[in-house]
Amino acid sequence: MDFSWSEEQVELRERVLEMARRDLNQGLVEREASGVFNHDGWKRCGQLGIQGMPIPVAHGGGGLDPLTTVGVLESLGYGCKDNGLVFSINAHMWTAEIPLLEFGTDDQKRRYLPGLCSGDWIGGNAMTEPGSGSDAYSLATTAERRGERYVLRGSKCFVTNGPVADLLVVYANTDPGRGQRGVSAFLVEKGFPGLGFTENHDKMGLRTSPMAEIHLEDCEVPVENRLGREGAGQALFTHSMTWERACILASAVGAMQRLLDACVRYARERRQFGRPIGKNQMIQTKIVDMKLRVETARALLYQAAWLRGRGRSIFLEAALAKLHISESWVQCAQEAIQIHGAYGYMRGFEVERELRDAIGSRIYSGTNEIQRSIVASLLGL
């Protein structure tokens, strides 16, 4: 496996890093406290082509391979402290764009992908319901075909980008008697009659990424907006989730590197008992452990992306990457707070926010308990 970067890749990563530092962090403390989405930052990322990176040029994207894409997202996570904004971008790419690219008709790709790639449109997906989470296909939402339309009824919760989305991939039962084989997917636009949203959820972390419940009350969706064939929802969702698990925490690797660098600087500058705290073995151990987590997380991320770029199945590698990176992010954030002491516990130092943002990564994209079950099953257990 070759993880070296070309001059063009390095230039792109540096350009994204510079933009993130310059344009995406202003006012973050206030936005995070109020749970406000950074629309201007989203548009700035769109202008640089970030949202369209994994989509072919023919459909309005950047045509980047998976390894280049996660490398750029890693740089974005290093430069942008707004983890909520970056999370929304990831959800948009892996749960809306990728299913469209793989399962969409030529007409669907023509209608939706250019706007999603440019950032003019915001996408997301609606799968989870109040009664289904890890049991993903236990759906109460139904879709009944009536002539040239489907009528969708039900509710979805924890919909990332829900309050601001222009397009959602909504999963519903077209044949409840077939269980998971009766699940289908639909492209539902913001203005479709019968589609409603609750107010934004008030979350512990990732507060600048909007999340809401959606309600489908006889929501009419044209037949041409069914994504894939009837009953293909399981294949579509599995494909999307494999990409998501492999790539969604690329930015977290960048965030961990940022935390590590901040802790090294602080350990050199902060003096106690007449010397820098970095001379204390306890602090050194924490920082070395952080370094180890960053490097192993990066290796798993790059491996999954490299294999995906070569058309290999990455079901195992994606689960391992999601599991290890999320656990490492939480542990690095905890260590960063401990190294900074009371300052790390204060909101103004912006370290405690990293922990609140990181904790969610052990839940979304399939809980870490589910990832362990996947790995165990692939090992024949």
Active site positions, annotated: 244
Give the Å distances, CA to CA, from 120 to 154, 165, 206. 28, 11, 22
Question: Residue 307: which residues within 8 A CB-CB, separation 6 or more?
Answer: 314, 317
Query: CA-CA distance, 281 to 227, in Å (whole number)?
Result: 56
Tokens of 188: 């539902």
Question: Residue 254: which residues within 8 A CB-CB, separation 6 or more?
Answer: 73, 74, 75, 76, 77, 78, 79
Single out the residue of 65, 90, 79, 82 nearest to residue 14, CA to CA: 79
Tokens of 303: 């491996």
112 close to 189: Cβ distance less than 8 angstroms:
no
Parallel, antiparallel or unpaired: strands 183-189 and 226-227: antiparallel
Whose tokens are 């979805």? That residue is 156
